[in-house]
Structure 1
Amino acid sequence: MAPHAMTGPWTLRMPAAMAATLREHLFPGDGDEHGAVIGASVVTTARGTRLLARRLYLAEDGVDYVAGQRGYRMLTATFVRDRVRDCRTQGLAYLAIHCHGGTTRVGFSGTDLASHERGYPALRDILGSTPAGGLVFATDAVAGDLWLPDGGRAELERGVITGWPIKNLHPEPPPSPTSDPTYDRQSRVFGDRGQAILAAQKVAVIGAGGAGSLVIEYLARLGIGEVVIVDPDRVERSNLPRLAGARARDAHSWMTDLARPRWLRVLGHRYATPKVKVARRVACQANGRIRVRALQADVTQNAIATSLVDCDYIFLAADSMQARLVVNALIHQYLIPGVQVGAKVQVGPGGVVTDVFSVVRPVAPGFGCLWCNELLSPAKLQEEALTAEQLRQQRYVQDEAVHAPSVISLNAVAAAHAVDDYLHAVTGLLPTTYEPRWRRFHPLVSTAPQRVRCDVPRVGADCTECSDTGRLGQGHNTPLPTK
């Protein structure tokens, strides 16, 4: 974006694997100071500017990070020059890093700030269109001093580690929020601070059908601040048993009854209520303060996908390959954690049910990539792209005249577990040792180990989507796979 568009608040987002590498480098247990550089993509939206950590350059002690001429230690001129050139070539912001002692509070020393005054104006001029700046870390805190292309200067509000748990780092602990009696029972679980985090979240739900409609109601009742709902479809009579909040008049059931003339049924389908409007109605009834953006559209449309780049979390409850493709790219490219959620009933010859399961597949930047785990099929992507009608469909079978089996309780299992994962991750309830898994719930299986199956998703070292040679942290520097 143009330099004048860069506005606060400013946040830094880092994939969990990169954050772990940086932490090990800065805090190896010797109590000393260490250095590094992050190259970050810059994404400015109405919610502020995000610095997406794209490259991590560790400074070797005694080689790249040496005794300082005015301060304790410094990055060498050669190391700085090479990293600034890298950042300029790749369109990245340059962020020099060092560490201080302490845990939840950190700030720059007077010597640090004086060095910024001497060096960052020149680095900013070299970069041209992206900021230069410095970050200082304690073990559980970060502060930032950013020198902007327009000549301004800004402080980093917080850092976000986009893993499980989703960890927020501040320069100092935020002030205690005011308690809200509406959420007294649940705030006893994750505290007033956890409730305040939820109120500040912007969450996207892609697909407002059986699973998505339940996710939306759960999020609204939890006190989420803003939800964006994306679904192109209208309510049909067969949706009513599993679509949360749907009414018979939303489907114009009297017009779409099979006994009616075809022209009347067509008219009924055309004027049926969009699923996103039903979802908005349910959300607002559950939470009068929630902000809802209901988009009757396909997430594969570029304008729709790019409106989601400032979300804090994404629920994928639409099962088209095209939707998977775009959401997978959004998660890795813009460093937004999310989850694929759904349920399926497999039917064999003669209509015999062969398998029933609900799925919850967490996906985060650099983890759980749908390409790496063969949940995206080039053949099916090509098939869906044949006609606009096929792109519109979000069904589990290819013949649109045949509706796949679906039951609300199966969707509820997946939706509840997915929202639980999100809730625990974002409010800090998950332990730092938590290891996410993909889970499949099989209600027809009687033995405990097979009833809930957990898998560690594969990671491709050179994946074009989730690796540091692919989309990871690219932000606006590469296009999304949209129309």
Structure 2
Amino acid sequence: MREDGRKFRVMAAKKQVRTDRTLHVVFPEESFRNMTASFDDDEKRGREGYAVAICGQKAGADKRSVTYMARSIDIPGKGDLISQSSVSVTPSGDFMESVLAAAARRQGIVLEIHTHPGSADPVFSSVDIDHGLDNGRFLRSCHTRFCMMVIGAEGFSVMEYNGESDSLQLPRAAAISLMGRQGLRQILPAAETLCDGPSPEAVDRQVRIWGARCQRRIEATIAGIVGLGGTGAALLQMLALIGVKKFVLCDPDDIEPSNLSRLPYACATDAGKKKTRAAAGYLRKTARDVEVETVNDRVQDAKEALRACDVLFGCVDNDGARLSMNEVALKYFIPYIDTGTEIFVENGKVRDMGGQVRIVVPSVTGCLECAGAIDRTEAAASLVSGEEHAVREAAGYVRGTADTPAPAVITLNTIIASMAAQEFVDMIACRDRENAPNYLLYDATRPQIERFLFERSPDCPMCGRDGILGAGDPKRHGRPGVKKIRSPG
């Protein structure tokens, strides 16, 4: 019970239903910090804080888990609230109409967030529940899903409105994570503290560098690798050796004899096998407890598998695949590390040789579109059907074909893969990456590495204000209308 006696906390009611679902809410770190700063200001004045997030969603494969990704957070300014006290807050109709219009335009889920002054680990009051039911019913009539959250410094409660049962559903477990330059990091409930105790001998030397906590995070990471030739092969080996246990591998190609000098996971007897099959076999020999999912298809047809990953590595040689990976990363808030190499030979001499690593952290850095890393014409050409691609290849429009293979060598591939793997480790280890470069350009002819920082453009069609950032799974029903919504108590 609150000390003022005017709000009663309840753990259950006839319109609350406990479920076996787990719920995960991901906020862009900067937006979350702005929201909590506003809440802290309200706390000092003894008032309830209030905000509304528009979210996309990612449903788990088992249908018992869901992730909400906050695409935007609207914090009411001066004049946007009709009333605000220690026990209630009421946004203006104009404010809510604007928010709901944005939700309609983006086909998003409405997540209403408020605080209870003086409570670090709040639960919903009876007033919250009544208003939540009203809001859920109204938004259901607009074909929009509704969730509500009450949050404090040490904990939070969250519920989803279920229109079929006309009830607010309490998940079995819930968590809040932030997407920042260090990748995805859980903040509530506080992640389990891991001691830097004894480590298995196989990883002892590296744990001495980055600690047991980082090692546990590495082992829990689901790494998606698209492209298993060149840098992808070297990267696969490195990730396995540092302890990654869960992989999604995507590559439609078979191993050719000319590939073997660049594939650490393959031997001569693997020629003719699918690259994914040979790579999975190598991983299972490296670690008995490894989990591998393979996709023998192009990346644009592997999005369902890739959306479950914690980090994506692009090791591809065409901009169509890069465009698809950029899309998956942005829609589902997945850090994406893109790699590439290129060698130009003239008259038997190397004219230019090098590669690059680009790091895309959704909501934090620019994407490949912002960086100018995608040639839309080339991307469109590489995304055509197999039959049309063959026609274009015969006409000489496709570089690096079976008749004119692009030069490649394992030494360059390994250098670029090492740079990508180190970026991953630095991210997992939560090292200070606030202003770290996210574009590394390696020139092998000098040799030297140049570092650049590419930032988000608000007008980017992919990660800008009207882009696909956090959009998640496609919505399955019509767009909502815009009407007035009631506030929480």
What TM-score, normalized by structure 1, do the two folds share?
0.80
Deviations along 1:299-333, whole A, 9 cap, x unmatched?
Answer: 122xx212222221110001222211110111111
Paired AA for residue 331 in structure 1:
A
Structure-to-structure mapping, 1:155-234, within 5 angstroms:
157-176=174-193, 181=200, 182-234=202-254
Supply the RMSD in Å over aligned alpha carbons: 3.3
2:150 maps to 1:147: no
Inter-CA distance 385–185: structure 2 relative to 1 (3 Å threshold)? closer
Inter-CA distance 352–389: structure 2 relative to 1 (3 Å threshold)? farther
2:53 maps to 1:38: yes
In terms of mean alpha carbon deviation, does 172-181 or 288-297 score higher?
A: 172-181
2:373 maps to 1:360: no
Q: CA deviation at 1:389?
A: 6.3
Runs of 5+ in structure 1 lacking a partner? Answer: 252-271
2:122 maps to 1:108: yes
Q: What is aligned with 1:476? A: 473
Inter-CA distance 470–433: structure 2 relative to 1 (3 Å threshold)? closer
Inter-CA distance 299–106: structure 2 relative to 1 (3 Å threshold)? farther
Work out the number of aligned pairs and report it. Answer: 438
Q: CA deviation at 1:442?
A: 1.6
CA distance in 2, matches of 1:437, 1:362: 5
Say which SS state the counterpart of residue 356 (structure 2) adopts: strand
CA distance in 1, matches of 2:404, 2:84: 72
CA distance in 2, matches of 1:63, 1:10: 30
Q: In 1, are the aligned partners of 2:341 and 2:413 still within 8 Å (CA)? A: yes
CA distance in 2, matches of 1:53, 1:473: 7
Q: What is aligned with 2:133? A: 121
CA distance in 1, matches of 2:384, 2:80: 57
CA distance in 2, matches of 1:135, 1:350: 68
Inter-CA distance 46–321: structure 2 relative to 1 (3 Å threshold)? same
Q: What is aligned with 2:404? A: 402
CA distance in 2, matches of 1:326, 1:369: 12
Q: CA deviation at 1:19?
A: 3.7
Deviations along 1:353-408, whole A, 9 cap, x unmatched?
Answer: 12211211001214332222222222213333455167699x99344312222111
Say which SS state the counterpart of residue 358 (structure 2) adopts: strand
Structure-to-structure mapping, 1:85-96, within 5 angstroms:
86-87=102-103, 90-96=106-112
In the alignment, which of 140, 143, 147 is matched to residue 132 of structure 1? 147
Deviations along 1:203-233, whole A, 9 cap, x unmatched?
Answer: 2100011111122222222332321000011
Inter-CA distance 409–159: structure 2 relative to 1 (3 Å threshold)? farther
Deviations along 1:405-447, whole A, 9 cap, x unmatched?
Answer: 211121111111212211221232x12634342001223215x
Q: In 2, are the aligned partners of 1:158 and 1:168 still within 8 Å (CA)? A: no
CA distance in 2, matches of 1:22, 1:391: 49
Paired AA for residue 285 in structure 2:
Q
Paired AA for residue 11 in structure 1:
H
CA distance in 2, matches of 1:424, 1:41: 28
Q: In 2, are the aligned partners of 1:230 and 1:296 still within 8 Å (CA)? A: yes
Inter-CA distance 155–391: structure 2 relative to 1 (3 Å threshold)? farther
CA distance in 1, matches of 2:217, 2:382: 38
Q: In 1, are the aligned partners of 2:440 and 2:452 still within 8 Å (CA)? A: yes
Q: What is aligned with 2:438? A: 437
In the alignment, which of 303, 307, 310 is matched to residue 309 of structure 1? 307
Structure-to-structure mapping, 1:265-344, within 5 angstroms:
272-301=272-301, 304-344=302-342
Say which SS state the counterpart of residue 416 (structure 1) adopts: helix
CA distance in 2, matches of 1:222, 1:37: 41
CA distance in 1, matches of 2:40, 2:433: 16
Runs of 5+ in structure 2 lacking a partner? Answer: 1-16, 477-489
What TM-score, normalized by structure 2, do the two folds share?
0.80
Q: CA deviation at 1:92?
A: 2.4
2:463 maps to 1:466: yes
Q: What is aligned with 2:482? A: none
Paired AA for residue 243 in structure 1:
L
Query: Relative contact order (C-alpha < 8 Å, sep 6+): which is higher?
Result: 2
Q: CA deviation at 1:91?
A: 3.5
CA distance in 1, matches of 2:128, 2:183: 30
Q: In 2, are the aligned partners of 1:54 and 1:468 still within 8 Å (CA)? A: no
Q: What is aligned with 1:256? A: none
In terms of mean alpha carbon deviation, does 80-89 or 366-375 score higher?
A: 80-89
Q: What is aligned with 2:422? A: 420
Paired AA for residue 116 in structure 1:
D
Inter-CA distance 114–106: structure 2 relative to 1 (3 Å threshold)? same
Say which SS state the counterpart of residue 294 (structure 1) adopts: strand
CA distance in 2, matches of 1:194, 1:215: 19
Paired AA for residue 134 in structure 2:
A
Q: What is aligned with 1:255? A: none
Deviations along 1:119-172, whole A, 9 cap, x unmatched?
Answer: 11112222225231114253xx66341223253222663223223112423334
Q: In 2, are the aligned partners of 1:144 and 1:155 still within 8 Å (CA)? A: no
Say which SS state the counterpart of residue 476 (structure 1) adopts: coil
CA distance in 2, matches of 1:45, 1:440: 37
In the alignment, which of 23, 26, 32 is matched to residue 13 of structure 1? 26
Say which SS state the counterpart of residue 147 (structure 1) adopts: strand
Inter-CA distance 362–28: structure 2 relative to 1 (3 Å threshold)? farther
Say which SS state the counterpart of residue 354 (structure 2) adopts: strand
CA distance in 2, matches of 1:368, 1:93: 25
Paired AA for residue 110 in structure 2:
Y
Deviations along 1:237-286, whole A, 9 cap, x unmatched?
Answer: 111111112111112xxxxxxxxxxxxxxxxxxxx011111211221222
CA distance in 2, matches of 1:156, 1:284: 32
Say which SS state the counterpart of residue 300 (structure 2) adopts: coil
Q: In 2, are the aligned partners of 1:397 and 1:404 still within 8 Å (CA)? A: yes
Say which SS state the counterpart of residue 188 (structure 2) adopts: coil
Q: CA deviation at 1:50?
A: 0.7
Q: In 2, are the aligned partners of 1:321 and 1:380 still within 8 Å (CA)? A: yes
Paired AA for residue 401 in structure 1:
D
CA distance in 2, matches of 1:340, 1:373: 12
Inter-CA distance 169–383: structure 2 relative to 1 (3 Å threshold)? closer
In terms of mean alpha carbon deviation, does 78-87 or 338-347 score higher?
A: 78-87
CA distance in 2, matches of 1:316, 1:201: 16
